[in-house]
Amino acid sequence: MTALALSVGDPSGIGPEIAIAAFLAREAAGLPAFYLLADPALIASRASRLGVSLPIVETTPAQAAQAFASTLPIVPLAARFIDSPGRPDPANAAGTVEAIDRAVAACLAGDAAAVVTCPIAKKPLYDAGFRFPGHTEYLAHLAALHSGVEAMPVMMLAGPDLRTVPVTIHIALAEVPKALTTELIVATARITAADLASRFGIARPRLAIAGLNPHAGEGGSMGLEDEHIVRPAVDILRAEGIDAFGPLAADTLFHVRARAGYDAALCMYHDQALIPAKTLAFDDAVNVTLGLPFIRTSPDHGTAFDIAGKGVARPDSLIAALKLARTLADTDKKAAAA
């Protein structure tokens, strides 16, 4: 069985230590085999700083699964890192990007089962000349580069009790009504339904479509977007055979009884999706990128520079991301073979 490829993220953040903590908890947490794309010297230094005994072995992706039982397999990067927890350094950008590049390449070549990414910070990457808005856009670029097919990445927050998908993501709230279109909602829902079927094993996914305005616009009295943009998208999806329904008032969409009626909720903007997801599963929600030709998950938190190197970062979300990546990879493989 191929191992998961874990990119270290920004080495000045908590990525190295949550990777170390996840490995040390591998038996208790029932973790699948993974290897870490990193600078071995930095990982050894961070383990020493944290006062933990960490057996490390430099390896190849092919040998990682076998090594995982007793040692943390590290596939060394060509770049070397400056070990400065809490102090991001543009000099580390080359290694941060290299780890992502090599994780994706390994997955597409069949040498890794899925890509799992530790958090990155945009500013040190931008300062070093990185030209992509963020992690997700860069993954879509790599997918197109390797496969020749343009990918539309879709962000999903997946927890034990709720999956949410923001249709618009990192834009100002004032810009959401301008960016929101019927076509965007339909495209996002199609990708969500397809991945829920092929990777989550849900034969007929049920998609709850949230309204944009309070009370889903209440028939147009609180804004026309729900009638003119959201409802036509639902009609198109239903005509295509996708079990979508809405627009629904977001304030009653996330309680226990409501959640029992759908497999994922499509939300119109960032906080509408992330607030309920993080409220219900702050420590173990997982960020899943749908719509890519490979599986990618990541912890649902950032670099946490303020606590990096202090030994207090919790690996819960990374552990959940690793376990979900393995499940999705296995389900996807079965679906492809069927």
For residue 172, how many other CB atoms are within 10 A of its CB? Answer: 10
Q: Is the confidence at residue 216, as pLDDT, over 90?
A: no
Please name the fold of domain 161-280.
Answer: Isopropylmalate Dehydrogenase (3.40.718)
Closest residue by Cα to residue 19 from 103, 120, 84, 116: 116
In whole angstroms, what is the distance from residue 76 CA to residue 29 CA? 25
In whole angstroms, what is the distance from residue 13 CA to residue 18 CA? 10
For residue 60, how many other CB atoms are within 10 A of its CB? Answer: 13
In whole angstroms, what is the distance from residue 292 CA to residue 298 CA? 14
Please name the fold of domain 1-151+292-338.
Answer: Isopropylmalate Dehydrogenase (3.40.718)
Query: What residue ranges do the domains of the chain occupy?
Result: 1-151+292-338, 161-280
**pLDDT for 296:** 97
More confident residue, 336 or 6: 6
9-46 pLDDT per residue, tens? 999 999 999 999 999 999 999 999 999 999 999 999 99
**pLDDT for 223:** 87
330, burial (CB in 10 Å: exposed 0-12, middle 13-18, buried 19+): middle
| CATH topology identical between 1-151+292-338 and 161-280 | yes
192-207 pLDDT per residue, tens? 999 999 999 999 999 9
Could you give the residue ranges of the DSSP H alpha helices within 36-85? 40-50, 61-67
**What is the pLDDT confidence band of residue 222, given thresholds at 50, 70 and 90?**
confident
> One-letter amino acid identity for 120?
I
